[in-house]
A and B are shown apart, each in its own frame.
Chain A
Amino acid sequence: MSEKSENYIDESSSPRIVEAPRYGCTLSGAYEAAVGLNEGVPILHSGSGCGMSQLFGANYGGAQNAPGDYGGSSTPCSCLVEEHVIFGGEDKLRKLIDSTIKISTGEFFTVISGCVPSLIGDDVDAVVNEFRDKAPIIHVNAPGFKGNSFEGYELFFEALVDQYLKPSDKKEKKLINILGIVPFQHIFWKGELRAIKELLEKLDIEANVIFGEFDTVEKIQKIPSAAYNIVLSPWIGHRAARKLEKEFDTPYISFPGIPTGPIQTTKFLRKLAEILPINKRKLEDLIKEGERRAYRTIEYAGDILQFDVPNVYFGVVADSNTAVSITRYLTDEVGQLPDIVIITDNPPEEYKEGIINAITSSEEIQFTPDIIFEIDSFKINQLLKDRPFLNLYASSLESVIKGELETTHVTVSFPSYNRLVLGDNYVGYDGGLNLIQDLFYDKAGPL
């Protein structure tokens, strides 16, 4: 911890040599989006390993999930080798797209170009254009050397806007799109998106969450008719939102993370009520009921919270979305003390101040945690040593060193190799309760 004045250290302005950064490449992010669609088929124009390695990195790293029928070893791939490097891979890709559409039961096709076609200069757009009338298909130019998974997520939406979506005749007042949660890369994506959708359904607002939903093509086509784009990240999805604003005049509003616990949830709902036609009576009823239940329920954890870990210091190692939501919940609602927050998703420089503000604007405490932007796992391990925290909310990479640090450990961020997540999430009034349950999952303190 430090005094309010010195609040963060930036070590990642120039990521060069790194150990175990917690994301994949641009192709990976586009793949995660493509396969995060129900019945979405990624078609990789790349070397043969680019799909298979997503299994270990994106899918298993994304909370031990199998990628389903169209990902991992099932991913159609042009499997480029030296002869294609010399003669070009366009013909191979043409045959691959044609056969994939013929053979696959999938609904939406995303051609993703990796490093190799970019280096050899294949005209992939031209090849993909030949198939526009045969199936819903887009091309994402996502060579791995361009950037990380989050870049791939933005490029997926940009491709969707440029190549597939059409402006809608009228906006639906009660329809919003949800952006900023990257499938697999945000390990709770399935549960978070569903929980957000269900929360808003109670206020008669339809959240088009796109990923993990059935009727994929229909959901995608609805994107331009939304009244608003809601971004649940301090930086991810912002480019997509700006693009949608430019092309379809859809305004957007952003929140630094998913709303966790009563304070964040109520604030989130009230903010939405300012811009959406939400019935005030319904809103107040929902808030009242949600808060009452959450605060009554946390009392059941009262003994273990107050006597096992009273005013405990905690550490966080997570992507910015997760870090903000969790840190603020524990600080603002559970009386815990943030010691160190390490942000691992390499946000661009211009967003860092906003992330720091979101973490430090708690009025409950008179100090700020150390906030460090770091992507290198070796350095992260060093940073966690000799600190006062007793609870660590991190990725599973830190679970290996938890004995060394004498800390309890909850896997809340990518990668998660020790926690299978199918529907768990920390969204809404009950979201904080779920987090506290996970903290005490395999231990009970000395009461």
Chain B
Amino acid sequence: MAKNELDSEDYIVELDKVTCPTREQRANGTNVYFGKASELLDDAKKGNLKCTERGFQQSGGCILNFYLSVRVSTIRDAAIIFNGPVGCSHAALGYKELYGAIPEALGKPTNYKLNWLTTNLGEDDVVFGAKDKLIEAIKEAEDRYSPKAIFILTTCVTGIIGEDIESAVNEIQPDVKATIVPIHCEGVRSKIMQTGYDAFWHGVLKYLVKKPKKKQKDLVNIASMLSYAWQDRIEIERLLGKLGLRVNFIPEFASVEDFEQLSEAAVTAPICPTYTDYLSRGLHQHFGVPFFMYPSPIGINNTDEWLREIAKYTGKEEEVEELIKEEHKKYVPKLKEIKDKFKAIEDKRGSKIDVLGSLGQGRLVTQLPYFDELGVKSSSAMAQDFDNILIDELEDVIDKVGDFNVMVNTFQAAEQLHITEQTKPDMALTCPFQGGAWKREGSVSRLHSLRGDPRKWSTQAGYAGAVAYGNFLLQALKNESLQRLSKENTGVSVKKWYLDQPDPLYFAEKGK
């Protein structure tokens, strides 16, 4: 069931405001939960989800770092100003190389540049304020890079000392060619990092998107490239290209013009609904661009449905059926081969391969049906956050694949280790930030890739991705030496008593 403009009005994007509300405020969001998916659904429906405190908590990233800054960094013909102490921009040191590694032969724009500055706030600035420094940085960015847009990323420090970013922007904007886009991503604003997405889209909708000059009936807005894998982008362009459609990918590697024309597209399609939600609603409410929220193009069936949704808005209903038929002819047999191999392993072990998925809430609702297609199961899943945005979709997934355990946390390594030790899945799928080898007996692989990964084996989207990732999972079952030997030789980071007691949320303050 596709959530779309019919229920767009349940949250109104208020562009006269400086920024968005937090996910806690607007969508009842949480990143502390453990239970059955059906219980999570029930609690979400009743409005019972709470983002409670943890007595033991690990650094999961903030609104600025890392979901936001890494994406904003890839925008072409733009510059970024990290308005904070030097450390807030520390992570950005690597982005130039991470994205630089994508070959232009694969379609990376030749004029891709990554320009960023930090206002390098020091003790004096904290005491006396740093408005002048921000203005100086804006001028400096203009002089150095002649960007079309300058994004200002705010930080804990500017938030707490009460910097009036808007007044600095209003003062300097008349003298600067670039459009200045302040983004309120102060780390202390929200416990839920996904608030950063909304803060970014708020700035984009408010400052960059232009009123449509003309509607482009063949243009499809797509926000986010899953986990930034370049091949996903190629696959999506391939499929939509066959329908005679063009993709307006944002924000990764987009130009400022791509943002400006968001209002002219035929539809905004999701790859990650939690990421796209605020943008989709904003574009619909303020510029009349229709959208849908589910499914994402992961797995054969979801890709079929995703393409059909897009076709509805672009008048390609007939073409899409033709395309689906053609693609199935090539990819369904390949998927069946993979399924057969999983079946052979299942027969040998006597049970279905059980995968512990480390998913975002977006992947939670798309990955599990795909695992079902592969013939593996996921009796437990991890999600980084959960909120009202995906209530209907979760219900839909439970209907399709049955009930399962859900653990909601954002990079809480101890809790993730706990569920792995307790449930002993055949395979644990991780985000690539575990601190080293994931030490366990059994397979480990990754579900997200960090960089602009251009390799074909990393494809996950569309039909090619369904096959590539199926093979990726098969490979993971073939050798477990690294994680096993690491565990045997250096042990794990938490004590045994914690892993032995039943509750991964042992340190969470329940019911507050």
Contacts and interface: CB of A to CB of B under 8 A. Distances in A.
Interface of A: 15-28, 44, 47-58, 60-61, 66-82, 84-85, 92, 95-96, 98-100, 102-106, 115-116, 119-120, 143-148, 378, 396-397, 399-400, 415, 417-418
A47 B125 contact: no
Contacts of B121: 145
A68 B495 CA distance: 16
B55 interface: yes
A28 B86 CA distance: 10
Contacts of B91: 53, 55-57
B178 interface: no
B188 interface: yes
Interface of B: 53-66, 84-94, 96-98, 100, 115-123, 125-126, 133, 136-137, 140, 144, 156-157, 160-161, 187-191, 193, 411, 413-414, 433-436, 490-495, 498, 507
A75 B96 CA distance: 26
B90 to A, nearest CB: 3
A20 B93 contact: yes
Contacts of A49: 59, 61-66, 88, 187
B433 A73 contact: yes
A47 B495 contact: no
Contacts of B490: 69
28 contacts: A16-B120, A17-B118, A17-B140, A18-B117, A24-B87, A28-B87, A47-B62, A47-B188, A49-B59, A53-B62, A57-B87, A60-B94, A61-B90, A61-B93, A66-B434, A68-B436, A69-B435, A73-B411, A74-B435, A77-B57, A77-B60, A81-B189, A95-B55, A119-B126, A144-B87, A147-B122, A378-B144, A397-B93
Contacts of A22: 93
B133 A16 contact: yes
A119 B56 contact: no
A56 B66 contact: yes
Contacts of B493: 69-70, 74, 104-106
Contacts of A61: 90, 93-94
Given A53-B90, A105-B494, A92 B97 contact: no
Contact of B87 (A18, A27, A104, A399): A27
Contact of B126 (A70, A145, A148): A145
Nearest to A147: B122
B116 A19 contact: yes
Interface centre among B93, B125, B433, B507, by most chain A C-beta atoms within 10 angstroms, is: B93
B88 A144 contact: yes
B90 A25 contact: yes
Contact of A119 (B58, B88, B161, B435): B161
Nearest to B417: A74
Contacts of B64: 49
Given A56-B66, A145-B157, A48 B90 contact: no
A149 B385 CA distance: 32
Contact of B94 (A71, A76, A417): A417
A277 B59 CA distance: 47
A145 B116 contact: no
Contacts of B191: 48, 79, 81
Contacts of B66: 49, 52-53, 55-56
B60 A52 contact: yes
A400 B102 CA distance: 12
A96 B57 contact: yes
Contact of A71 (B98, B140, B435): B435
B96 A47 contact: no
Interface centre among A49, A81, A84, A98, by most chain B C-beta atoms within 10 angstroms, is: A49
A417 B56 contact: no
Contacts of B65: 49, 52-53, 56
Nearest to A378: B144
A17 B59 contact: no
B86 A73 contact: no
Given A69-B435, A75-B59, A102 B136 contact: no
A116 B188 contact: yes
A19 B86 contact: no
B434 A73 contact: yes
B120 A21 contact: yes
A400 B60 contact: no
A26 B414 CA distance: 27
B107 to A, nearest CB: 19
B436 A67 contact: yes
Contacts of A143: 85
Nearest to A56: B91
Contacts of B88: 25, 49, 53, 144
A17 B120 contact: yes
Contacts of B495: 102-105
Contact of B93 (A57, A95, A115, A144): A57
B97 A52 contact: no
Contacts of A146: 122-123
B93 A92 contact: no
A66 B435 contact: yes
Contacts of B115: 19
Contacts of B89: 20
A81 B190 contact: yes
A89 B499 CA distance: 28
Interface centre among B60, B87, B133, B498, by most chain A C-beta atoms within 10 angstroms, is: B87
A27 B414 CA distance: 23
A144 B188 contact: no
Given A16-B133, A19-B117, A115-B85, A96 B56 contact: yes
